[in-house]
C-alpha cells in the first residue's frame, strides 16, 4: 500500500477517534444521560445537539464557500437526503430502541472501545435488526 | 484547564466539538457524517453469501471509510477512558449487567439497527448532519426519533413507575 493510500485511510480513523473522544467525554455514551434527556431531567443532551447543529451548520456553509476539494482532490459536497416514509416509521422504531438501550449507533462503538462488554449485545441486536430489515425491505413502505 | 479536560466535558465544549467533527470529515475526507450505515456494511461482511439485495448489492470497498471511521470512534473512546478521565466512565448502569439487561440490549439494539436503516440515518446522519444542512427529511426523522423515545419513556413510566 502506498503512503498516500495509507494517509487517505488513516484520516477517517483520526476523525473517528476525535469523534469518539468527544462523545465519551460529553457522556453522550452514557445510558443515564439518555434517560435524563427523555425524562427531561436535565437539558445537557438538548444543548449538546443544538450547539453541535449550529456549529456544524456554520462550518459546512464555510466549507462549501471556501473549500471546494479535500487535500486529496475529492469534492467537498453535501449529499441531499431524499424524502421517504422510512424517516417516520424507522425513525420511531429507532427512538424506542434508543430509549431501551440508552445508546445510539455512534455510542455503540464508543462503548465497545471504552471497555463496556455488554455493548456487544447491542451491536449483535443491531446487526440482527439490519438483517431482518434487509429480508423484509421489499414488503415495507419505502 | 487540566480539570476541565479530565472531568466530563460541559455541553458548550462538547457540542461545538461534535459540530467540528462534521467540518473535519467534510473538508479532510469529503464525507457526510453518519454512523448507522456502518451496520449495513458489517452485515454485508458478516453474511457474504446472502442474496438479499440490500446486503448483496452493497459495495463495502467503496464505503470502507465508514468502517475506518467507526474503528476510530472505538479507539477514541478507549483513549478518553484510559488517558483523559479522572473518574471511571459509566456507560451502561449496573443493573444492565445481567441476563435481563442483555435481553433488553438485544431487543433495543434490534430496533436501533432496523429503525436507523429504514430511516437511512441516526442521530449523527439526521440529527447532526441533516439538521445542520437544513434537510427537511432529517427534521421529520428527528421528530420521529423523539416520538418513539418519548413514547417508550411514557410506557416505561406507567409499567414500572420508574426510570430503570
Contact list, B18 vs chain A (CB under 8 Å): 19, 22-23, 26, 48, 52, 55-56
Helices within A26-118 (DSSP H only): 31-38, 44-66, 86-101, 105-113
| Number of inter-chain CB pairs under 8 A, A vs B | 477
pLDDT of residue B60: 96
pLDDT digits (tens, 9 = 90+) for B9-43: 999 999 999 999 999 999 999 999 999 999 999 99
> CA A64, CA A62: separation in Å to the nearest integer?
6
Contact list, B14 vs chain A (CB under 8 Å): 22, 25-26, 28, 48, 52
Residue B160 has pLDDT above 90, yes or no: no
pLDDT digits (tens, 9 = 90+) for A33-87: 999 999 999 999 999 999 999 999 999 999 999 999 999 999 999 999 999 999 9
pLDDT of residue B162: 58
Residue among B44, B64, B72 with most chain A CBs within 10 A, to mutate? B72
Nearest to B30 among A75, A88, A129 (CB): A75
pLDDT digits (tens, 9 = 90+) for B70-83: 999 999 999 999 99
Residue B1 has pLDDT above 80, yes or no: no
Residue B16 CA: distances (Å) to CA of A22, B66, B91: 10, 22, 22
A113 contacts B77 by C-beta, under 8 angstroms = yes
ipTM over 0.90: yes
Determine the distance in angstroms separating the CA of A3 from the nearest CA of chain B, rounded to an integer: 16
Residue A1 has pLDDT above 80, yes or no: no
pLDDT of residue B164: 52
Residue B146 CA: distances (Å) to CA of A101, B111, B120, B131: 14, 14, 16, 14
Residue B39 CA: distances (Å) to CA of A27, A80, B120, B131: 22, 21, 11, 22
Q: Say if the Cβ atoms of A12 and B147 lie within 8 Å.
A: no
pLDDT digits (tens, 9 = 90+) for A73-131: 999 999 999 999 999 999 999 999 999 999 999 999 999 999 999 999 999 999 999 99
Determine the distance in angstroms separating the CA of B162 from the nearest CA of chain A, rounded to an integer: 10
Q: Say if the Cβ atoms of A114 and B77 lie within 8 Å.
A: yes
Q: Say if the Cβ atoms of B113 and A125 lie within 8 Å.
A: yes
pLDDT digits (tens, 9 = 90+) for B50-71: 999 999 999 999 999 999 999 9
Region B106-123 average pLDDT: 98
Which string of DSSP letters, residue by residue, matches chain B? -HHHHHSPPPHHHHHHHHHHHHHHHHHHH-----STHHHHHHHHHH-TT---HHHHS--TGGGHHHHHHHHHHHHHHHHHHHHS-SSPPP-S-GGGSSHHHHHHHHHHHHHHHHHHHHHT--IIIIIIIIHHTT-HHHHHHHHHHHHHHHHHHHHHHHHHSS--
Amino acid at each position: 500500500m502506498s503512503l498516500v493510500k495509507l494517509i487517505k485511510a488513516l484520516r477517517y480513523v483520526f476523525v473517528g477517534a476525535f469523534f469518539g473522544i468527544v462523545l465519551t467525554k460529553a457522556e453522550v455514551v452514557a445510558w443515564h444521560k439518555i434517560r435524563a434527556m427523555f425524562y427531561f431531567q436535565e437539558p445537557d443532551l438538548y444543548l449538546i445537539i443544538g450547539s453541535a447543529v449550529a456549529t456544524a451548520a456554520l462550518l459546512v456553509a464555510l466549507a462549501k464557500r471556501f473549500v471546494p476539494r479535500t487535500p486529496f482532490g475529492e469534492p467537498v459536497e453535501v449529499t441531499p437526503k431524499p424524502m421517504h416514509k422510512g424517516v417516520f416509521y424507522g425513525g420511531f422504531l429507532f427512538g424506542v430502541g434508543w430509549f431501551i438501550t440508552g445508546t445510539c449507533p455512534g455510542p455503540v462503538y464508543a462503548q465497545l472501545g471504552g471497555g463496556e462488554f455488554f455493548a456487544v449485545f447491542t451491536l449483535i441486536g443491531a446487526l440482527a435488526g439490519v438483517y431482518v430489515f434487509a429480508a423484509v425491505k421489499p414488503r415495507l413502505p419505502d | 484547564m487540566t480539570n476541565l479536560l479530565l472531568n466530563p466535558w460541559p455541553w458548550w465544549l462538547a457540542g461545538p466539538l461534535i459540530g467540528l467533527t462534521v467540518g473535519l470529515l467534510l473538508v479532510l475526507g469529503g464525507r457526510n457524517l453518519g454512523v448507522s450505515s456502518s451496520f449495513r456494511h458489517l452485515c454485508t461482511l458478516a453474511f457474504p453469501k446472502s442474496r438479499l439485495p440490500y446486503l448483496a448489492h452493497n459495495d463495502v470497498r467503496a464505503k470502507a471509510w465508514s468502517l475506518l471511521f467507526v474503528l476510530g470512534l472505538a479507539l477514541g473512546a478507549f483513549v478518553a477512558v484510559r488517558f483523559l478521565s479522572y473518574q471511571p466512565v459509566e456507560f451502561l448502569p449496573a443493573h444492565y449487567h445481567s441476563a435481563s439487561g442483555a435481553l433488553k440490549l438485544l431487543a433495543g439494539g434490534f430496533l436501533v439497527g432496523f429503525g436507523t436503516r429504514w430511516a437511512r440515518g441516526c442521530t449523527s446522519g439526521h440529527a447532526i448532519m441533516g439538521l445542520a444542512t437544513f434537510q427537511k427529511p432529517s427534521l421529520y426523522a428527528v421528530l420521529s426519533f423523539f416520538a418513539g423515545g418519548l413514547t417508550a419513556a411514557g410506557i416505561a413510566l406507567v409499567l414500572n413507575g420508574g426510570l430503570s
